Structure 1
Amino acid sequence: MSTTDNGELCIWGLGLIGYSLAGALARAGRRCVVMDVDAERVARLNRGERPFHHLPNLPDDFGAETRRGALRATTDVLCTWLERDAGAWPWLMSRRPVL
Structure 2
Amino acid sequence: MAMEKMGANKRYMRVAIAGGAQVFKFNNTGANNLDIGRRNGEAVIEQLTKAGLRILAKDIGGTHGRTVTFTVPDGKVEVKTLSQGVAELCYLADNRERSAA
So what's the TM-score if we normalise by structure 1?
Answer: 0.30
Instruction: Kindly name which structure, 1 or 2, has the bigger radius of gyration based on alpha carbons.
Output: 2
So what's the TM-score if we normalise by structure 2?
Answer: 0.30
